Amino acid sequence: LGTCQQIWQALTDAAYDRKGLLVNLGGGVIGDMGGFCAATYKRGIAFAQVPTTLLAQVDASVGGKLGIDFMGFKNHIGVFCQPKLVAVCPAFLETLPPRELRSGFAEVLKHCLIRDRAWWERLRRARPDRLPEGLSWLDIVAHSIGVKDAVVAADPTERGLRKILNFGHTAGHAVETFFLQEGPKLLHGEAIAVGMVAEAYLSWRRGWISRPDLDAVAACLLGIYGKVRLEERRIGEMAALAVQDKKNEGGTVMAALLEGGIGQAGYDHALSMAELEESLRFYASL
Ligand SMILES: NC(=O)c1ccc[n+]([C@@H]2O[C@H](COP(=O)([O-])OP(=O)(O)OC[C@H]3O[C@@H](n4cnc5c(N)ncnc54)[C@H](O)[C@@H]3O)[C@@H](O)[C@H]2O)c1
């Protein structure tokens, strides 16, 4: 919020009027914060997103969710507001640290898993530093934005379908929060990779994906992200963190799972604590 004040101050000093355009050049933090400041300055001026990380290009800059952290809570204050323009240039990825590139790639894989089996087959053996023959970042980013954009267009304010974008994020956020508190901190995509393995397992347990598909998801994600060590005696605590999730309703933990197989996610699947713990134990057993 302190940084937002500086931005509002700069807009005021520069005498920005309501015809102004704020251009947010940077990663997801800049896009979210700059967008939030634009959406609230004088009740809203136009803004453009120029995302420079893979995560921001395929995820944060698309969909109109703008949030800032407040008192230690992530995205606690925010609005829905669409940018006038999102300009994506893959050349920015050339300077991105490899770990950040890998983190963003988790959302690319998520988009394939929830909506597009054919693209999952194309990308599941890819590595962010070794793209498949004939595919460029431009192709991959364009496909990924296309998936998110179509989902958001069908449900801009997350009343239904948009929830499928949360695949991997129920277990993943719990793991992310746990390591934020305990260290070492994980990048978002690294935590979501754990969450996608756990939630693919739950999809398999419900008979929605085959065992070879589950094994392929686990092999792909562990191959790229390695294995995060989850201590058996802390798994209960970790799963309990999922109760805090914004996606829950009335204290029930809700998740998006691959209910129609790979490439077809569904939402609003209630999870018991026992199931969540079992899914994290499955990950730990790999
Ligand atoms: N609004 C949404 O729908 C949405 C969706 C997903 C994530 N997010 C938000 O996005 C944020 C994470 O975004 P992020 O992963 O882009 O992190 P980030 O903005 O913190 O950027 C990661 C790091 O990369 C650096 N960087 C950015 N571009 C670079 C480039 N081209 N070359 C070299 N370094 C570069 C940044 O300075 C930073 O250190 C989180 O706050 C998350 O809540 C929002």
Q: How much distance in Å is there from the Cα of 56 to the middle of ligand 1?
A: 6
285 lines ligand 1 (CB under 6 A): no
Q: Are 193 and 221 in contact (CB under 8 A)?
A: yes
Task: List the catalytic residues.
Answer: 43, 65, 107, 148, 158, 162, 166, 169, 173, 188
Residue with tokens 């704020």: 22
Q: How much distance in Å is there from the Cα of 54 to the middle of ligand 1?
A: 8
59 lines ligand 1 (CB under 6 A): yes
Task: Classify 156 in phi/psi space as left (phi over 0), alpha (psi -120 to 50) or beta.
Answer: alpha
Task: With a cut of 70, say whether residue 246 has pLDDT above it.
Answer: no
Atom 22 (ligand 1): residue with closest C-alpha? Answer: 27
pLDDT at 5: 97
What's the pTM value of the predicted model, to 2 decimals?
Answer: 0.95
Element (H, E) at 149: helix 137-154
**Atom number in ligand 1 closest to CA 29:** 19
Share of the chain above pLDDT 70, in %: 99
Q: How much distance in Å is there from the Cα of 209 to the middle of ligand 1?
A: 32
Stretch 171-197: mean pLDDT = 95
Q: Across the chain, what does the average pLDDT equal?
A: 95
Return the bridge partners of 259, or none: 261
Atom 25 (ligand 1): residue with closest C-alpha? Answer: 27
Task: With a cut of 90, say whether residue 69 has pLDDT above it.
Answer: no
What DSSP string runs through 223-268? HHH------GGGHHHHHHGGGG-TT-BTTBEEEEE-BTBTT--EEE
pLDDT at 61: 96
Q: How much distance in Å is there from the Cα of 68 to the middle of ligand 1?
A: 13
Tell me the C-alpha distance between 174 and 232, whole Å. 15
φ, ψ of residue 159 in degrees (nearest 5):
-90, -25
pLDDT in tens, 99-141: 999 999 999 999 999 999 999 999 999 999 999 999 999 999 9
Task: With a cut of 90, say whether residue 82 has pLDDT above it.
Answer: yes
pLDDT at 73: 76
Stretch 179-197: mean pLDDT = 96
